[in-house]
Structure 1
Amino acid sequence: MIARDIKIKYRRSVLGVLWTLLNPLCMMIVLSVVFSNIFKFDIENFPLYILSGQLIFNFFSDATTSSMSSIVSSASLIKKVYVPKYLFVLSHIFSSFINLMASFTALLLVMMATRTELHWTTLLAPVPLLLLVLFSLGVGLVLAAVTVKFRDIMHLYSVFITALMYLTPVIYPMAMLPEWLTGFVMLNPITNIVLMFRNVMLYNTFFGWRSLFVAVVETGIMLMIGFWVFYKNQDNFILNL
């Protein structure tokens, strides 16, 4: 199912899977030009700042959006043969994970091209990435289960994910936000993961035990909610497909 998702996504594309590298790089160039020249964000290594934020948020957006329709789009298969239904959500999460690894490779290539020093803290990058994947799985399970019965979720979620992007410090620095808004943005679980990832990749600093504890708790709670909602509703999926 993972192979199928990748083939469908890049079918009849001349460059094929290379777009997993080119997409984040092209977006990084556009956003760097716009926000470093027009909005005058004075951030060191701004292209890397943007690319690292994009890497995290784009995975969450892609993984949860594709997971949301994973059950509905596989209705014909679910009706014909028994397959553990959570596998459909997992396949979309891991398809997005392949894109995440490609974006991570793009980030490393840009760091080498700009002669940015790679520190030992880079070895800790898998920690926030793993938490991101697990958190996205929890959200994906909830969305997949709810969407089977309420198809309007697919339209509402696109609005929600746009709003969430502006509540995540992907393109702007946290320092520019007023105090009241900083606290609001920190309530977004993706913000903490973005900051953890940037600390180890760009700033040669440990993300801190408090940030790690908060991320683990949020991820654990989201996973439990996701599996509970999914297993509570999966027996009724066939009635709504």
Structure 2
Amino acid sequence: MKNNQAYIIFTRIPTPGKCKTRLIPTYSGQEASDLQGDLLADLLASVANLPAAGIDVFVAYSDEQDPTNFLDSLPDTVQAFAQHGENIGERMNNAMATVFAAGYQEVVLTGSDLPELTAQTIQRAFAVMKEIVIGPSADGGYYLIGAQRGVDLAPLFTAQIDWGQSTVLQSTLRAITRHDVQFLDAQLDVDTPDDLERVKQHLDHHNQQFQYWFTEEEK
């Protein structure tokens, strides 16, 4: 039986030269792609029990390549679909709309490059949600966005937002002033070599693949 809550992991298919490009040339395209895959693997392992707790898990994946091998690698408990849209805002909006259209009452979406993210964070997001919930990121954007069914998300994703810039959160909040917005604690995503150095000292047991990546890079 389907649950009423859904969690979407928004990710690129790990592809050399197509993901984590801000880590290049400090790291090679292959190393950056491997990191993307390891971060996603850790996150999927961390949220593996969410369906049993009432939260179905989806992966919305990018379209750089044939997704067959990527889809085969996903756990059986995860449902997946391709992203669609001209920019990241449209893609996130379409991803959430897809899941709402399947009948879910509350939806939360995050990226996949979040070493601090755990299942407890996702559960917390649903627990505090009234209309909209946001998890700010340290770079001025946000790592998590969630909403209840019936909330008009179009202003949130179609406003004049410079995606990837430090003003994303500020611009987003201006676009949704009519809604009740709850906030989670800030977290750091991994985009640059400096980000890697900052999170390196705070890895936990749920960062198994990420820790392995560091070990391999230091050889």
Q: TM-score, normalised by structure 2?
A: 0.31
- Higher RCO (Cα < 8 Å, 6 or more apart): 1
Q: TM-score, normalised by structure 1?
A: 0.29
